[in-house]
Structure 1
């Protein structure tokens, strides 16, 4: 049996982890090659290449979104209301990964517009999920 909400949540977490691992592999190479001291990194990679700066921001975007979108997926899973989130779970994950890939590729005006469009879809899905979950768990009142 497939569980789209659980797969999307796990995929979201795994994607954030993959971005972090990629960043740390590149940072390790920079240290081992003597291009930067081990204590020479800043959180946003501002002292590194533009790709590394975009990678740090793409990872941060995932981490920033995880409590909101991941939290909604988790609520759906815990409360047994995945019927609300399952239908858009894969679309959400695809938009999340696509947003990051576009971020890694470019910060041109066109890329930023495409990236925002992918994020806007995620926000719309999140609002739909939140409304559906609130309606499903909200007490129906006395009686």
Structure 2
């Protein structure tokens, strides 16, 4: 079986979410081991994480997981239906836009970075919408 751009994007989206989990676990583990926080003190939303980066990391991870089902569903459908020729051309851009959005969020929540983050998110939405129209035979 050939690894299509669509399959690579799907695996890349999952891999990125996994990388973020490892970063989160590492950061929290270090805080526990250094006595900065108790193991049961972490708020699920990261609101009590001592660093701004830690709070952004929690949100970036959550955002990836919030969007992964939509992205995975479309990519898996294209693979299962043998329609990757429709999704392959933009699959790398979808993955790149997800990575870009995440990295911009990790760097800062300043206005410029929020706009850049939104641009990455909008690209993902536009690609998914376009693919749905293509896969549904509407265009």
TM-score, normalised to structure 2, is 0.95
Map of 1:99 onto structure 2: 101
Aligned-pair Cα RMSD in Å: 1.1
Q: How does 1:72-87 map to 2 (within 5 A)?
A: 72-87=74-89
Map of 1:40 onto structure 2: 41
Larger radius of gyration: 1
Counterpart Cα distance in 1 of 2:100 and 2:23: 17
Name structure 2 gaps, 5 residues minimum.
Answer: none
Counterpart Cα distance in 1 of 2:121 and 2:72: 14
Map of 1:59 onto structure 2: 61
Counterpart Cα distance in 2 of 1:71 and 1:132: 14
Q: Deviations over 1:4-42 (max 9, x none)?
A: 000000000000110011000010000001110000011
Map of 1:128 onto structure 2: 130
4+ residue stretches of structure 1 with deviation over 4 A? Answer: none
Pick the aligned partner of 2:73 from 56, 68, 71: 71
TM-score, normalised to structure 1, is 0.92
DSSP-derived class of the 1:135 partner: coil
Counterpart Cα distance in 1 of 2:95 and 2:63: 13
Counterpart Cα distance in 2 of 1:130 and 1:56: 30
Deviation at 1:50, TM superposition (A): 1.0
Deviation at 1:135, TM superposition (A): 1.4
Deviation at 1:93, TM superposition (A): 0.3
